[in-house]
Structure 1
Amino acid sequence: MKTAEIASHSREETLALAGRFARALKGGEIVFLRGPIGAGKTVFVKGVAAALGLKSSPTSASFSLMKEYKNKHCRLFHIDLFRLEEGEVFNLGFEEMLEDDKAIILAEWPDPIRHMLPEDRLEMDFILQEGDDRVIALKSFGRVSDALLEALCKAAN
């Protein structure tokens, strides 16, 4: 496991960071996003989607649990499990997502699916600070996520 921390001082910085990070995504990546409501998780997803050239802008998926955005190059699955417990997440189609080599999975409030997905994942914890500042604590678990952590750290500089 590798770890790092990145600072963001505004919504715009978080969007830009996500946009630069998106360049490292090829498909097959899993990213867990944690943090309190308003910490920037969905903003980060919006930045990734925009940089990938996806036409729709992601919104909170809390009420639909999962939204799919796609173009000819990739499929972005935005999962938001805010209201669910582990036993309530079956039949969301994780197996199909994992079989798609173009799929990028960004999961907010991911704990209910932690044991259903492969171990190789990047975890991002959005920690609110004073004002609009936040720290994004990163942990990678595997070869693919190690590369994503490195790409995100480079994107922050």
Structure 2
Amino acid sequence: MSRRIALSLAAGVVVLGGAGAFALAYAGDQPPAFAHSTARYTAPAGGRDGSLTFSTEVTAASGVKSLKVLAWPEKSGFAKKPLTAADMAEVESATCEPAGSDTARCVYRTVVSAADAASAPHGAWHVAVLATAKDGSTTLDTKVTGFTVG
């Protein structure tokens, strides 16, 4: 192998190694991300309570610390003045279980009584989530998924 080819090859390895290290460092700085988010609303019927179940997968390089969940009607004040992380501070949390080295599967479930359903606005609803990673980074998605109350 000629010296010029060997030097070119060595330079290529250094450049690729540096790019790989940058990519890994950059991936570690990414805020939490959501995937496969679903919401299922079941109305109360026949003297039985209904329910709202929300599930999602959260990925964070440092691990998932918590996930706050809030369902809100499209025809509400949040449509005009969007939710903030401060708004989400006092809402209920989902239960999260590890689903890989940097991913957690989170589920939130609440009972919907007949009285709750009767007083709830009909129509489109959204689910807002605030994920917090173990390194303190956060991601707020005010419309991660939705459902309809009929």
TM-score by length of 1: 0.24
Between the two structures, name the one with larger relative contact order (CA 8 Å, sep ≥ 6): 1
TM-score by length of 2: 0.24
Larger Rg: 2
